[in-house]
Structure formats: structure tokens, C-alpha cells
Amino acid sequence: MIAAVREFANRFLGRGDATITVPSFDGALKPNQKLESVETLLTCEAPEDLAVDGPNLFIADGRRLLCFNAGSASQVRSFEQPVSALCALPGGGIAVALGGREVRLYANPSAEQPRVTFAEAAFNAINALTLADDNTLIATDGSATCGVDDWARDLMELNRTGRVFRLDPGSKTVTALAQGLGHAFGACAYGNGVLVSESWRHRLALVTPGASPRSVLGHLPVYPSRLAKASGGGYWLTAFTARTQLIEFVLREPAYRRRMMAEIAPEYWVAPRLRSGISFKEPMQGAHIKTMGVIKPWAPPRSYGLVIRLNADGQPLYSLHSRVDGVNHGVVAAVEMGDDLVLIAKGPGRVLRVPLAGLAEELCS
């Protein structure tokens, strides 16, 4: 009763859960335009995920699996469904998630038949695969109801149905590690647990067996996505899009959200996107007005590009940005390859390369 009254008062006064404040890009997240000045390795139609195996960089591009080696890309194979996650296995193998519903393990990238196939009925939106220390696979599933590419609806429906699975290729069993997550999208082994990106709760959560998820890095101004281990300890955390006060507000407006989802095409929703500025039918916010021919980089981002370097404790050290006036938005995957960091900016469909040498010094100062 008291809770109901408090919730009503909060809604009426715009307090508590009804506040729409978004943390600012501050400290280690101080904005720069680093992602705008990096080299584009490759432009492809629908890059989704990356995996590195020695000198080979595997790129999931729609249904195709590409291999980038020595400056050129070649198609390794293609699948009947879009690849929604990719992971290199020890010994030259590769794991792919197809359409979010099926995970296949191949002994080598061009192998005809999969070594193991996991096709649980529970799988709905497998969006990231990562290797655990005991050679099992960790898979994150964003939503139990919305497909991999339908994440904006998942956000707008306020779903909290993300799950984390452990796939054991040896026993061919699937164990659920966590459920009820706000869009699990990306994971990394961390001690005896798993560090999981929980996009809709804007945090990195630590999932350990037998305990409820614990926040490691919270209150992010972005929606975090895939994670990758960094050399020298720590992680690369990508953020596929950023939060805005308008979207936070719309998330608290059930009637508008319901009608928006029913009456408006998804690309014109008031929702975060991987790229923006394609059509004038997209929602425009006050600060987006081009004044004297310039769109302001500080305008509220409908799409954004960001990758954050975390230390071994999951705390941010520095970050690389592409701001509102940039194009390299929708960073969904980052992985180290030799002395470089390779990223996917899904918005413009680019694979980017950033030399790591001197990067920390440049961005930490």
C-alpha cells in the first residue's frame, strides 16, 4: 500500500523511479572523437561480431562468415540464417550463433558439419558467445520474446527476460546461469563467475553460481554490449547506443509507448538506434537543429559510438567515442588483434582498427 502510494507520488512529482536523469559522460567517459579518426578496415553490409584466431580475423557479416587476413577479406562460408554471435575456439575451431536460436561449434571454420549443435527451445536471442576458463561456452540471450534484431522493442516493452547460459560441448548440456536480466548482451569470464552486460539496466553485472547478479559497474550513460578481454588484464566494453532523457521519459509513458509500437514503423520510434539521420521521419530533439549549418556534437544521441577500456576490476580507464555529429555509431564488438583494437561500428557497417600503442597515454591525459 505504502509502496503504491509512493509510486503514485513519484510519478506525479517526477521523483524516485520517475526521474529521467541520465548520468553525464564524465571522468573516464569524457567525450572525444577518437572513433571518427580511426582507420576503416572494411565496409560490409551487416557486420555483427568479431573473433580472432592468430593472424585471422573472423567477421560475421549477415549470413556470411568473412576472414580478414593480411589486408583483404574473403568469404569463408555462409549460413542459412544471419550469424548473431561468433567465438573462436581453442585449436582453430569456431562457434557461431545463428538467428539467436541455435549455437553450432565447428572444428574449423570451413568444416562441413558442426561438431556440436545446441538448439534449446529456450534460446531466443543469443547475441554473444564467449569462452570460459574450463573450455565451456558462455552464451547471453537478450530476450525471451524479442528476436536478436528486435532489441528496441524489447527495451520499449520494458522486458527483463535476458538470460545467461553455460554450454558444455563435452556433455552437450546447457545450464542456465542467470535469468531475469535486462537484455544480457555480451559476457566475459571473471573469476568463478561471469561478467555480463545488462543493457537495459545500464550496468555490468557479475553473475556467480547461487547468487543474484551483482552490479560491478553501474549507472552508465549508455547501453552496454559485448565484452572482450584486453591484453594486460581488464576488458573492452562496447556500448551499442546511448541513453537520452527523452527515451528515459518515453520509457515511463506506457500509453505513448504502446501507441508508438502499434502505429509507427520501428525505424521512426523514439528509441535508441545504431545509426541516425537517415530520414527526416526520425524523431528530432531540440538540440538536433542544425544551427548555422552545424549539428552540435553534444546533442542528445539517437545513436552513438563508444568503447570503454575497463581495468581488471571492471572500472573504466578511458574510452573512445564517436559523438552525435560523427558516423561510427553502434559499436557492438571490439576485440584485440596483435597491437590493434578491431571494432565493429554496426551503424555505418564498418570494421575499424585502432592502434593500441600510445592510446592509453593519449586518452588518459
CA 204 – CA 308 distance, rounded (Å): 12
Nearer to another protein, 20 or 356 (CB): 20
CA 105 – CA 37 distance, rounded (Å): 36
Give how far Cα 102 sits from Cα of 85, 99, 120, 137, 259, Å.
Answer: 10, 7, 7, 13, 33
Exactly one of 291, 339, 358, 365 binds another protein (CB under 8 A); which one? 291
In the complex, least distance from residue 20 CB atom to another protein, rounded to whole angstroms: 6
Q: Under the criterion CB under 8 A, does residue 246 sit at the interface with another protein?
A: yes
In the complex, least distance from residue 307 CB atom to another protein, rounded to whole angstroms: 25
Q: Under the criterion CB under 8 A, does residue 20 sit at the interface with another protein?
A: yes
In the complex, least distance from residue 11 CB atom to another protein, rounded to whole angstroms: 9
Q: Under the criterion CB under 8 A, does residue 199 sit at the interface with another protein?
A: no
Other beta carbons within 10 Å of 18 = 16
Exactly one of 8, 43, 281, 315 binds another protein (CB under 8 A); which one? 281
Nearer to another protein, 30 or 259 (CB): 259
Q: Under the criterion CB under 8 A, does residue 17 sit at the interface with another protein?
A: no
# residues contacting another protein (CB under 8 A): 35
146: closest CA among 261, 248, 301, 275? 261
Q: Under the criterion CB under 8 A, does residue 1 sit at the interface with another protein?
A: no
State the cell numbers at 58.
573472423
Exactly one of 2, 4, 5, 292 binds another protein (CB under 8 A); which one? 292
Q: CB within 8 A of 5, min separation 6: which ones?
A: none
Characterize 105-134 residue by residue with b for buried, 16 or more Cβ atoms within 10 angstroms of its Cβ, and e for exposed.
bbbebeeeebebebebeebbbbbbbbbbee
Q: Under the criterion CB under 8 A, does residue 324 sit at the interface with another protein?
A: no
Q: CB within 8 A of 25, min separation 6: which ones?
A: 31, 221, 321
Exactly one of 176, 256, 357, 362 binds another protein (CB under 8 A); which one? 256
Q: CB within 8 A of 53, min separation 6: which ones?
A: 88, 92, 94
Q: Under the criterion CB under 8 A, does residue 15 sit at the interface with another protein?
A: no
Q: Under the criterion CB under 8 A, does residue 358 sit at the interface with another protein?
A: no
Nearer to another protein, 289 or 312 (CB): 289
In the complex, least distance from residue 286 CB atom to another protein, rounded to whole angstroms: 4
Exactly one of 172, 214, 219, 259 binds another protein (CB under 8 A); which one? 259
CA 136 – CA 209 distance, rounded (Å): 15
State the cell numbers at 239.
556500448
Binding region for another protein (CB under 8 A): 14, 18, 20, 244-246, 249, 253, 255-256, 259-260, 263-265, 268-270, 280-293, 295, 299-300
